[in-house]
Structure 1
């Protein structure tokens, strides 16, 4: 997957998890939690959805890498290169 495809996939997951959020103005370099009403369960849902859709395993120690769109795409890109 390309960076743009990964970004779109994350947006799709966020739309499913937080359907009332307006994602059109989401800033890639600002943490999701600063921009959205996400709690720790929502964040875990993101991780679980990535696992379900793409069989991507994300260790708990790496959750910090999923704070913003930029960091999430950068973290996932090498894992999803062949998808």
Structure 2
């Protein structure tokens, strides 16, 4: 699984107006692509639906960035 590409695809579904190629790896996604709280929670839910990886609220700080998402998913993918 290409975790980075999977997360980018989901971000594009949630916020289609975003230039997906310009999403930085290490900037907080809520700032970088203007995801509000509901969008972020939708992303967490869609990641779970797509990958089967559950992201508990305590881990939200680990998935603030695109690199964080990638690392998190790679570490937990079965």
Can you give the 5+ residue segments of structure 2 that lack an aligned partner in the other structure? none
Partner of 2:16: 19
Can you give the 5+ residue segments of structure 1 that lack an aligned partner in the other structure? none
Is the aligned partner of 1:33 residue 2:30?
A: yes
Cα displacement (A) at 1:22? 0.9
Partner of 2:6: 9
CA root-mean-square deviation: 1.0
Greater fraction of residues in helix? 2
Q: Which has the larger radius of gyration?
A: 1
Is the aligned partner of 1:64 residue 2:61?
A: yes
**Misfit runs of 4+, over 4 Å:** none
Q: Distance in 1 between matches of 2:55 and 2:32?
A: 23
Partner of 1:43: 40
For residues 17-76 of structure 1, give each alpha carbon's deviation from its aligned partner in whole angstroms, at most 9, with x where no partner exists.
000111111110111122112100000001100111122111111011111011111111
